[in-house]
């Protein structure tokens, strides 16, 4: 069983991923049940007029917070929509109750519950469920990543290149996303426009957690985005890393400045392209 240790404690990780899954499935069910037909009303906006929150985001986060802290009252909790809770156990949960909120509002079927547990700032457990489709992915640090097919866990491995096309940058299907701030978007649009002629194509799915799982599952070859928050990337980046991809930032770990995911064999070239495009 995978576990992480510090000087005074060892924490078994399987029970944490089981908890993440139980709670994540319950939250996904709540979101599905409460979603009205058509468009979902917006409760308020955050960083910009297009950065929206619904009452269902808040209800999903409240449920996840309550269930996790009832089960593990000494843990810390960071959620996208509410105040942080400090803890004493050394385990910190990082949660996006609905990643892809704009998709959720419109009924575009790519929005997810994303739950990670971190230890010393590093994700050690990750769980993502696509609320609309019911697909689920999970990972445990040092224990691999998988997609669930019912109760069966199918292990994820580094995806193979598409047969019949040369293994170069021009064959990469690259996922990305855009920030809610207009000035950041302008720079992102320039960088994506510069990249497009050099790759197979670009995809913008609208839920970073699902994009990261898509790379882990071979549905994308690579991913690059600026401006991701910890709750957007904590679970998905562990799932991608445990599936055998390289997850990084520009000069170190993935962070708000940049998140980059690609197979180790293409990393050097892809990083050069990302830099050259001005990400």
User: Residue 218, Cβ neighbours under 10 Å: how many?
Assistant: 18
Strands 259-262 and 222-225: antiparallel
Q: Is 179 in the site for ligand IPD (CB under 6 A)?
A: yes
Of 11 and 220, nearer to ligand IPD (C-beta) is 220
Q: Which of 96, 217, 221, 242 touches ligand IPD by CB under 6 A?
A: 96
Could you tell me the smallest distance in angstroms from the CB atom of residue 6 to ligand IPD?
31
Per DSSP bridges, beta strands 136-140 and 144-149 are: antiparallel
Sign of CA dihedral 181, 184, 187, 188: negative
Contact segment (CB under 6 A) with ligand IPD among 12-20, 98-106, 133-141, 239-247 equals 98-106
What residue has token string 């990543």?
A: 145
Should residue 56 be labelled a site residue for ligand IPD when binding is judged by CB under 6 A? no
Q: Which residue shows structure tokens 């994009």?
A: 211
The number of residues that bind ligand IPD (CB under 6 A) is: 16
Smallest gap from residue 142 Cβ to ligand IPD (A)? 26
Site for ligand IPD in 221-240 (CB under 6 A): 225, 227-228, 232
Looking at the Cβ atoms of 213 and 228, the one nearer to ligand IPD is 228
Question: Shortest CA distance to 122 belongs to which of 240, 4, 1, 264?
Answer: 4
Q: Which stretch binds ligand IPD (CB under 6 A): 24-32, 120-128, 220-228, 261-269?
A: 220-228
> Distance between CA 206 and CA 100 in Å, rounded?
5
Of all residues in the shown chain, the one whose CB is closest to ligand IPD is 177
CB atoms within 10 A of CB 203: 15
Which residue is associated with the tokens 């959720």?
Answer: 104
**Where in 46-104 does DSSP place strands (E)?**
52-53, 76-79, 91-99
**Is 206 a binder of ligand IPD (CB under 6 A)?**
yes
Residue list 138-177, contact with ligand IPD (CB under 6 A): 177
Interface contacts to ligand IPD, rule CB under 6 A: 80, 96, 99-102, 177-179, 206-208, 225, 227-228, 232
């Amino acid at each position: 069983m995978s576990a992480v240790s510090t000087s005074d404690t060892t924490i078994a990780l399987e029970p944490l991923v089981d908890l993440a899954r139980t709670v994540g499935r319950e939250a996904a069910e709540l979101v599905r049940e409460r979603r009205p037909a058509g468009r979902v009303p917006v409760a308020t906006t955050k960083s910009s007029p297009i950065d929206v929150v619904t009452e269902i985001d808040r209800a999903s986060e409240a449920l996840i917070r309550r269930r996790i802290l009832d089960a593990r009252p000494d843990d810390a909790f960071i959620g996208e929509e509410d105040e942080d809770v400090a803890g004493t156990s050394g385990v910190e949960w990082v949660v996006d109750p609905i990643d892809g909120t704009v998709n959720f509002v419109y009924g575009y079927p790519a929005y997810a519950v994303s739950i990670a547990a971190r230890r010393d700032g590093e994700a050690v457990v990750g769980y993502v469920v696509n609320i609309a489709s019911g697909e689920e992915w999970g990972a445990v640090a040092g224990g691999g990543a998988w997609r669930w097919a019912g109760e069966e866990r199918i292990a994820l491995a580094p995806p193979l290149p598409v047969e019949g096309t040369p293994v170069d940058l021009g064959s990469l299907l690259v996922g990305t996303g855009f920030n809610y701030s207009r000035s950041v978007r302008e720079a992102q649009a320039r960088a994506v426009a510069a990249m497009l002629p050099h790759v197979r194509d670009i995809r913008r799915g609208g839920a970073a957690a699902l994009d990261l799982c898509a790379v882990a599952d071979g549905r994308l070859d690579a991913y690059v985005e600026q401006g991701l928050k910890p709750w957007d990337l904590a679970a998905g980046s562990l799932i991608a890393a445990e599936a055998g991809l390289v997850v990084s930032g520009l000069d170190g770990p993935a962070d708000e400045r940049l998140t980059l995911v690609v197979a180790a064999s293409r990393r050097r070239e892809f990083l050069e392209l990302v830099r050259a495009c001005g990400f």
